[in-house]
Amino acid sequence: MSEEVKFDDAQQALVDKLVGDARVKAREKAQAEFTTKADDAKRQAEETALIAQKEWQKLAAKHEARVKALEPLEAQAKAYGELVAGMLKAKVKELGDDAKKAIGAFPEALTAIEKLTWLNQNEGLFQAPSDGVGTPARKKAPQTKKKAKDAGHRRMRL
């Protein structure tokens, strides 16, 4: 028993855009993986040639230099990831429960950067509706009792 889901034009355009974006990202990811695999294959061939020539010391020096070059980048990437995750959490908190539900419905494959970008682009979906005059309706803050500044001295009309 499957029900047919119908979207209006705006919703269908959003779905088409999201699917298109996912395809582009998948294509870019596949290209990056292909490039990485080609680089790894080239490096492996060089290693095999060096081992065959019994130049293992030169190979060890290359590996050590590569590790030293990548260590600072690893720490930097981790720090950036934590920063983006914090920004995403703050944005979701700012936009409320609807944004939290929307982010929860995203596939796990999306990164925090992609989720934050989507929230920033679609922030209007989670804001309070307008009252028709152009001013957004705001949630009423709980009212606190106002204290008289100087209850003992009140002005009297004469």
Could you read off the pLDDT of 116-154 as tens digits, one per residue?
Answer: 898 888 888 877 665 556 555 555 555 655 555 555 556
Q: What is the pLDDT of residue 147?
A: 54
pLDDT of residue 158: 67
pLDDT (0 to 100) of residue 41: 93
Mean pLDDT of 34-38: 92
Question: What average pLDDT does the chain have?
Answer: 81
76 vs 70: CA distance, rounded Å: 10
- Give percent of the chain above pLDDT 90: 22
% of the chain surpassing 70 pLDDT = 78
Q: How far apart are CA 43 and CA 35, in angstroms?
A: 12
In this prediction, residue 25 has a pLDDT band, given cuts at 50, 70 and 90, of: very high
Q: Is residue 11 predicted with pLDDT exceeding 90? A: no
Q: Tokens representing 157? A: 């009309």
Give the chain as a 3 state SS string. CCCCCCCCHHHHHHHHHHHHHHHHHHHHHHHHHHHHHHHHHHHHHHHHHHHHCCCHHHHHHHHHHHHHHHHHHHHHHHHHHHHHHHHHHHHHHHHCHHHHHHHHCCCCCCCHHHHHHHHHHCHHHHCCCECCCCCECCCCCCCCCCCCCCCCCCCCCC
Across-strand partners of 136? Answer: 130
Q: What is the pLDDT of residues 71-92, one digit of tens each?
A: 888 889 999 999 999 999 998 8
Q: Is the pTM of this model over 0.75?
A: no
| pLDDT given at position 60 | 82
pLDDT of amino acid 136: 59
Residue with the bigger pLDDT between 55 and 44: it is 44
